Structure 1
Amino acid sequence: MTDENTLGGRLARYARVGTAMGGLAARLAGERYLGLRLERAEHAAELRTALGGLKGPLMKVAQILSTIPDALPQEYVQELSQLQADAPSMGWPFVKRRMAAELGPGWQGRFRSFERTAAAAASLGQVHRAVGQDGRLLACKLQYPDMQSAVEADLRQLRVIFSIYQRADRAVSTRQVHEEIAARLREELDYGLEARHMAVYRDMLADVEGVHVPEVVPELSTRRLLTMTWLDGRRILDFVRTEPEARNQIAMNMFRAWYVPFYFYGVIHGDPHLGNYTIRPDRGVNLLDFGCVRVFRPGFVKGVIDLYEALRTGDDELAVEAYRSWGFDRISKELVEVLNLWARFVYAPILDDRTRQIEETNSGLYGRETAEKVHRRLREVGGVEIPREFVFMDRAAIGLGSVFLHLKAEINWYRLFHDLIAGFDVRAVSERQTAVLSRHGVPLPA
């Protein structure tokens, strides 16, 4: 690992970022109180330059923000999305020390083989292929050192970014957005919790055709090391490039992998980007990462279906009830109209009973235009505070929609959705959720 990822290197980078942030904050204050003009696009580019040297958690946060509509202005999203989340992988000396810290000095004897070079490197850790003593192919996900202090420092920087933004634009309060991102990012550091999440997903999806989840190897796992069975597969876009006729089947498998846990158990995979899935030769989907999992109150799930019915039938009172169930407050008629603009964009593919591509109403250009219109209207009605539970539901739905956009699948999404929610009963969701979470030691939602 390079010096830039040592604690000293990180502190030096924070000093550089802090200086840059101070200058940006001063310019924003000048615009607000002295009437000095600030070019937002130029400011966003400077922000990216200031943050560009940071690796690790803050880059994961930047990815998250780029898929939460109106968390930041579009100029900021465009710049932050260019930041690279891939951290340099740890070299073998670091790996040996980290593995010894997790499994003890004789750790290599617990494997038949362990590959020295990482198979994948990400923002919080890296993955090594190995073979267990029982002959199973394994994936060992090893967390980088000092990540807890790095996450806390990066979350402080995120608060600064949000405060800079809010001084310039009060259309969306980011207080609960920060709280939710902080909670999920801290959870991602606990590989013991991720192991339990993985077990929950194996349970929930055990009878779902075309979806596969790795099995945790508990005796080779700790809070900072997660060992699981290796699932062979190819990246989604690589697969469909050579087998384009597989697009629809892969999309339907992805739909079930994400929405069966949500509508039957109130659980979502909060990080649905292309890198977290691979495709098997039979077109089945492998789910590979369970660090960002969100559990919802069953009433929240009911609100998702209620809002769908409200949009379909034009029932504004039901829409208000749905938004309140999600945690929105001070709901006026004008605010409901604005929120419905975004909701119609998100729900559009399932409002139309016909075979179609997601891109018809959910393209990036249309989404950007819709988000800008919503943002403008939110300023007019006095702004809104995004509830915590809503943050990752919206982010995950948009992220999954982006996967479907890449696939260019042509499916009757309306029928898929209606088949899934037929006979929906919020009490049954509550009972199933309690049973599966309790079985694997995952806390119930507050």
Structure 2
Amino acid sequence: MTDHEQNRFTARAARYARVGANVGGVAARMAGTRFFGGDGDAANAAALTKALGGLKGPLMKVAQLLSTIPDAIPQEYAAELAKLQNEAPPMGAAFVRRRMAAELGLDWQNRFGSFDFKPAAAASLGQVHRAVSQAGTPLACKLQYPDMASAVEADLSQLEVLLAIQRRMSPAIDAREAIKEIGARLREELDYRREAKHAALYGLMLDDVDQVRVPKVDSELSTDRLLTMEWLDGRKLLTFKDEPLEVRNRIAVAMFKAWWVPFSHYGVIHGDPHLGNYTVRSEGDDEVAGINLLDYGCIRIFPPKFVAGVVDLYEGLRSNDQARIVHAYETWGFKNLSQPLIDTLNIWAGFIYGPILDDRVRTVANGVEPGQYGRKEAFQVHQALKQHGGITVPREFVFMDRAAVGLGAVFLHLKAELNFYAQFNEAIGGFDQRVLADKQAAALKEVGLTQ
């Protein structure tokens, strides 16, 4: 075993020990109380949340993603995990110096006009620092924490232990494929050179959308674990939640376009619509010129036929065409669909598609708090699946669903009132799978990405 391999093995073993001690004890409690199959135990949910919250790294991020997939985990857990805000205590200046030297060399500071050692933001996989280029351009430097690759593998393994308990005790939702998908996206998220290509892809896809700004990457100051982009000034989205409706609606339209234009024209979605990934930008006297899209780690590129499935389900629901609805589910990868299972999936589809099927100005959901968006429907789905048999969630469905729920929660935060039907049909109008396939292939080739 080489020194490098030994270091990686040691890091991974240490992570297993830390995570295993925290999660293993909670898992034992769950198994002992049959939590996953019982009426729920808020104390166990709180204990797991505490264990995850004390760990910097991907397990916390995975837990948050799982908490948004309908009933992949029990409601008590989802409520507790939703409290994790993807924040972690920042690393100090000495740590930052070592990490920057490892990425750019010992003379790294000479390559910047200035560099702020106090992080502007700290999250589960890394932290962001403000800097200025030698030419005077404001920059955002996202620096990955050390040993994250080892942490990802260790954490995903521990999570499988928890989900194995769930499958035995409450088999209505089989999340094994979901975990494979989350694992694949997390591994991609560790590759900052890939994220730089994602940013370039979004710059291309949204070039004609004035309401959305994409930062440019400084490739000379970026590596596999350091991503340097231009700093885009803006205010946090939630600071606008009490602004006049017209202002909030303008932000909501920009959010809708940032998500649906890439998906409907190129088959690409931003899979993590976390509030911290957006800021609202001003321009001249215009206080709301649009939004800045800041993070490109969690991007999902879909086969064109998956996008066609989204359109088929929409049209099937709109015209009550059962054959087209079933075809859409099968296109996505759902298998062994009996009529009761189709009816159960339609509960969730009716919720997700409801706003874009309703040709009028409306909120995305009336009387629902952002953190509870989709919870009632998820409970109905779970009850029906317990009665009619379990189902395996296809991989490609995971981030589509995650993004739709997250985007809906943003609209609830903004209390936006839009004609979502009109917005959707403007984005998807004239959909042609072959045209999308050609546009997607050309765009991926241009930025150096493969599907």
Normalization by structure 2: what TM-score?
Answer: 0.92
Counterpart-to-counterpart distance in 2, 1:45 and 1:116: 34
1:24 counterpart letter in structure 2:
R
**Contact 1:44/1:79 (<8 A) preserved:** yes
C-alpha deviations, 1:294-315, integer Å up to 9, x for none? 0001110011011011111111
1:17 correspondence with 2:18 = no
Task: Report the count of equivalent residues.
Answer: 435
Corresponding residue for residue 235 of structure 2: 234
Q: 1:433 aligns with which of 428, 437, 440?
A: 440
Relative to structure 1, the CA distance from residue 437 to residue 59 in structure 2 (aligned partners, 3 Å threshold; closer, same or farther) is same
Cα distance in 2 for partners of 1:240, 1:81 equals: 20
Which residue of structure 1 aligns with residue 428 of structure 2? Answer: 421
**Matching of residues 192-341 of structure 1 within 5 Å:** 192-242=193-243, 245-281=246-282, 282=286, 283=288, 284-341=290-347
Secondary structure of the structure 2 residue equivalent to 1:346: helix
Paired residues for 1:124-143 under 5 Å? 124-143=125-144
* Residue 382 (structure 1) aligns with: 389
Secondary structure in 2 matching 1:167: helix
Counterpart of 1:346, as a letter, is I
Give CA deviations for 1:217-251 in whole Å, capped at 9, x if unaligned.
00000000000001000001113435654111111
> Contact between 1:28 and 1:164, CA under 8 Å: does it hold in 2?
no
Q: Secondary structure at the match of 2:435?
A: helix
Aligned to 1:399: 406
What's the offset of the Cα at 1:348? 0.6
Equivalent-residue separation in structure 2 for 1:113 and 1:30 (angstroms): 52
Q: Deviation of residue 52 (structure 1)?
A: 4.0
Match of 2:5 in 1: none
Task: Tell me the residue number matched to 2:3.
Answer: none
- Within the candidate set 29, 32, 43, 1:27 is matched to 32
Distance 2:229 2:396 in 1: 29
Is the 8 Å Cα contact of residues 58 and 155 (structure 2) preserved in structure 1?
yes
* Corresponding residue SS for 2:227: strand
1:150-199 superposed Cα distances (whole Å, 9 cap, x missing partner):
11111112111211221210001111011011111111100000000000
Q: How much identity, in percent, do the aligned residues show?
A: 57
Q: Which residue of 1 aligns with 2:7?
A: none
Calculate the aligned-residue CA RMSD, in Å.
Answer: 2.1
**Could you tell me how far apart the structure 2 residues matched to 1:274 and 1:29 are?**
35
**For residues 203 and 407 of structure 1, what CA distance do their matches in structure 2 show?**
28
Contact between 1:346 and 1:362, CA under 8 Å: does it hold in 2? Answer: no
- AA aligned to 1:344 is G
Deviations 1:27-81 (A, max 9, x none): 156998xxxx774444333333443422221111121111111111111111222
Amino acid at match of 1:416: Q
Alignment check: 8 A CA contact 1:349 1:361 kept: no
Q: Deviations over 1:83-132 (max 9, x none)?
A: 35211111111111111110111111101111111111111111111111
Q: Residue 313 of structure 2 contacts residue 324 of structure 2 at CA under 8 Å; is this kept in 1?
A: yes
SS for the counterpart of 2:215 is coil
Provide structure 2 residue ranges, at least 5 long, that are not aligned to the other structure: 1-10
**Counterpart-to-counterpart distance in 2, 1:329 and 1:50:** 36
Task: Give the distance between the partners of 1:337 and 1:7, measured in 2 at CA.
Answer: 44
Match of 1:372 in 2: 379
Which SS does the other structure have where 1:68 is aligned? coil
- Contact persistence 2:271–2:300 (CA under 8 A): yes
Equivalent in the alignment of 2:4: none
Q: Deviations over 1:281-300 (max 9, x none)?
A: 14211000000000001110
One-letter amino acid matched to 1:360 = N
Alignment of 1:43-122 (within 5 A): 43-122=44-123
Read off the aligned partner of 1:379 and give its amino acid letter. Answer: K
Distance 1:46 1:127, change over 3 A: closer
- Name the CA shift for 1:105/1:249 in 2 (closer, same or farther; >3 Å): same
8 Å Cα contact 1:65-1:71 kept in structure 2: yes
2:12 & 2:120 partners in 1: Cα distance? 25
C-alpha contact 2:241 2:415 (8 A) present in aligned 1: no
Whole-Å Cα distance in 1 between the matches of residues 245 and 419 of structure 2?
18
Counterpart AA for 1:290: Y
Q: Which deviates further from its counterpart, 377-386 or 78-87?
A: 78-87
Note if 1:176 corresponds to 2:183: no
Does the aligned pair in 2 maintain the 1:348–1:362 contact within 8 Å?
Answer: no
1:317 positional shift: 0.7
Following the alignment from structure 1 to structure 2, what is the Cα–Cα distance between the partners of residues 348 and 38?
30
- Cα distance in 2 between the residues matched to 1:207 and 1:121: 32
Distance 2:390 2:225 in 1: 41
> Please, which runs of 5 or more residues in structure 1 have no aligned partner?
1-5
Q: Secondary structure at the match of 2:242?
A: helix
Change (3 A) 1:241 1:294: same
- Tell me which of 323, 342, 348 is aligned to 2:354: 348
C-alpha distance in structure 1 between counterparts of 2:223 and 2:75, whole Å: 40
Q: 2:152·2:187 contact (CA, 8 Å) conserved in 1?
A: yes
Distance in 2, Cα, partners of 1:299 & 1:76:
34
Q: Distance in 2 between matches of 1:48 and 1:142?
A: 26
1:3: which partner in 2? none
Distance 1:232 1:52, change over 3 A: closer
Q: Which residue of structure 1 lines up, in the alignment, with residue 6 of structure 2?
A: none
In the alignment, residue 338 of structure 1 is paired with which amino acid? T
1:348, 1:361 within 8 Å by CA — same for their partners in 2? no
Letter in 2 for 1:17: N
CA pair 30-366 structure 1, distance change in 2 beyond 3 A: closer
Contact 2:20 2:158 in 1 (8 A): no
